[in-house]
C-alpha cells in the first residue's frame, strides 16, 4: 500500500484533480490519497476568520469566494453535479455558521480556528473521493492529537495503532483529508 499526498495546487482546479486521478488510477497497488484544501482556500478561510473575529462583515465576501470556488470545481468535474453539491452544501453551511459564531462572540479561539481550517480539507477530500468513485476515510477516526489547539502534537502510538486497524483489510483507493 502506498500513501500519496497532493497539496492545494495539485487539487486546486478540476483540471488538476483530473491529473491526480490519472496518476492514482495508473497505480497497480492499493493507494491512500491524502489531499489538502483546494489551492488558496486555507488562506481564504483564515482571512475570513480574522475578519469575523474583528466583527467585520467583509468575511461574507471571502465566504462567497470559497463557496463559488468549490461549486466551480464541482460543476467542471461532474456531468450531473446536483448530488455532490447536496453533499458539500452542509459543510459549506457549517463553515458559514462557525464564522457567524466567531462574529457574534468577537473571538477566534485556537480550537475554533483549527475547526475552520480543517473544513477546506474536508471539502476537497469529499469532492475528490466522489470524482474518483472511491471511499472517503475520516482522518479524525485514526489521527489522535493532544488538546493543544493550534499546535497539537500527534500521539503516534495511538495513531499508528488506529491506522493499522483502519486499513488492515483495505483494498483499492481511499481518500483522506490532510495538510
CATH topology of domain 2-177: Carbamate kinase (3.40.1160)
Q: In terms of C-beta density within 10 A (0-12 exposed, 13-18 middle, 19 or more buried), how is residue 52 classed?
A: buried
What are the sequence ranges of the domains in the chain?
2-177
61-113 per-position pLDDT tens digit: 999 999 999 999 999 999 989 999 999 999 999 999 999 999 999 999 999 99
If pLDDT is split at 50, 70 and 90, which confidence band does 155 have?
Answer: confident
116-136 per-position pLDDT tens digit: 999 999 999 999 999 999 989
Rounded CA separation 41/120 (Å): 6
Please count the other Cβ atoms lying within 10 Å of the Cβ belonging to residue 58.
Answer: 12
What's the predicted TM-score (pTM) here? Answer: 0.91
Q: Which of 28-32, 135-139, 150-154, 159-163 is predicted with the least confidence, judged by mean pLDDT?
A: 150-154
Q: In terms of C-beta density within 10 A (0-12 exposed, 13-18 middle, 19 or more buried), how is residue 80 classed?
A: exposed
Q: What is the pLDDT of residue 154?
A: 82
DSSP bridge partners of 26: none
Q: Which of 96, 102, 104, 100 is nearest to 65 (CA)?
A: 96
Residue whose C-alpha cell is 483530473 = 18
Q: What is the pLDDT of residue 121?
A: 95
Amino acid at each position: 500500500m502506498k500513501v500519496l499526498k497532493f497539496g492545494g495546487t495539485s487539487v486546486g482546479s478540476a483540471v488538476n484533480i483530473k491529473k491526480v486521478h490519472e496518476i492514482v488510477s495508473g497505480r497497480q497497488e492499493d493507494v491512500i490519497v491524502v489531499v489538502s484544501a483546494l489551492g488558496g482556500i486555507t488562506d481564504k478561510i483564515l482571512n475570513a476568520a480574522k475578519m469575523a473575529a474583528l466583527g467585520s462583515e467583509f468575511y461574507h465576501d471571502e465566504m462567497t469566494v470559497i463557496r463559488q470556488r468549490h461549486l466551480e470545481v464541482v460543476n467542471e468535474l461532474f456531468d450531473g453535479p446536483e448530488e455532490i453539491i447536496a453533499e458539500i452544501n452542509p459543510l459549506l453551511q457549517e463553515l458559514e455558521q462557525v464564522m457567524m459564531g466567531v462574529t457574534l462572540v468577537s473571538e477566534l479561539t485556537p480550537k475554533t480556528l483549527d475547526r475552520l481550517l480543517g473544513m477546506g480539507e474536508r471539502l476537497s477530500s469529499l469532492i475528490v473521493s466522489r470524482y474518483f468513485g472511491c471511499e472517503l476515510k475520516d482522518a479524525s477516526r485514526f489521527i489522535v492529537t493532544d488538546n493543544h489547539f493550534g499546535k497539537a502534537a500527534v500521539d503516534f502510538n495511538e495513531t499508528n495503532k488506529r491506522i493499522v486497524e483502519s486499513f488492515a483489510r483495505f483494498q483499492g483507493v481511499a481518500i483522506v483529508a490532510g495538510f
